[in-house]
Homo-oligomer: A and B are copies of this chain.
Amino acid sequence: MTGAAKPARRGRPGHDRAAIIRAGVELFNQQGYDATSVSDLTGRLGLTKSALYHHVDSKEQILQVALEDALGGLERALTDALDHPTAAERLSAIIRGAVRVLTARQPQVTLLLRLRGNSEIETAALARRRRFDHTVTGLVREAQSEGVVRSDLDAAVATRLIFGMINSVVEWYRPDGPIDPELLGEEILAVTLGGLQPRD
């Protein structure tokens, strides 16, 4: 992440590249990825195409970096969650962890959730998202075996409902707003696992 001074030809690649990627993701989320051209990007940034291509290889690369931010974050949260000893704790940890990733990397996760799968990068990202969902469905199934989640509900449907609530946060959460993301994670955890617990 850090490094010694680079040859002058490369400018301040870290800083400028991050700003270009941020602006690209913002445009993709506003207009759609397919509808956004490299000219839209240079117009938004006030850069020439050659200045843009100094920092990123292509529009596709911006998409790839942003999707890696989103998916990498979610996958690390899942790996961390799997370390916990009980299924209830593992499931709680991934719910908290997903809300944390989603509030910290909202633009990138928004982009992930709106993917239509029209290119190789997109279909690869959607496949990673399916693997993530599949692992979480396994956690829900284990939590059913432990008796902390109702067993009469299909584990895949329960997972979709839990992540439906979590993912909807990207639509309205504001990083500079009054809602504390950690507290929001606790509330979503309480509503989903409270609502899914077995009835007497």
A residues at B contact (CB < 8 Å): 30-32, 34-35, 114, 116, 153, 157, 160-161, 163-169, 171-172, 179, 184, 187-188, 190-197, 199
Is B160 a contact of A30 with CB atoms below 8 Å?
no
Is B160 a contact of A168 with CB atoms below 8 Å?
yes
Q: Please report the C-alpha to C-alpha distance between residue A165 and residue B169 in the assembled complex, in whole angstroms.
A: 10
Is B34 a contact of A32 with CB atoms below 8 Å?
yes
Q: Closest B residue to A30 by CB, please name it.
A: B116
Give A191 Cβ to nearest chain B Cβ, in Å: 4
Is B196 a contact of A191 with CB atoms below 8 Å?
yes
Report B-chain residues with C-beta under 8 Å of the C-beta of A172: 160
Instruction: Known A163-B168, A165-B168, A195-B196; judge A187-B34 contact (CB<8 A).
Output: no
Is A31 a contact of B30 with CB atoms below 8 Å?
no
Partner of A168, one of B164, B188, B192: B164
Q: Please report the C-alpha to C-alpha distance between residue A188 and residue B157 in the assembled complex, in whole angstroms.
A: 10
Q: Closest B residue to A170 by CB, please name it.
A: B164
Given contacts A31-B34, A164-B167, 18 further A-B contacts (CB under 8 A): A31-B32, A31-B116, A32-B35, A35-B35, A153-B187, A157-B179, A157-B184, A161-B165, A161-B188, A164-B164, A164-B168, A165-B168, A191-B191, A191-B192, A191-B196, A194-B197, A195-B195, A195-B196
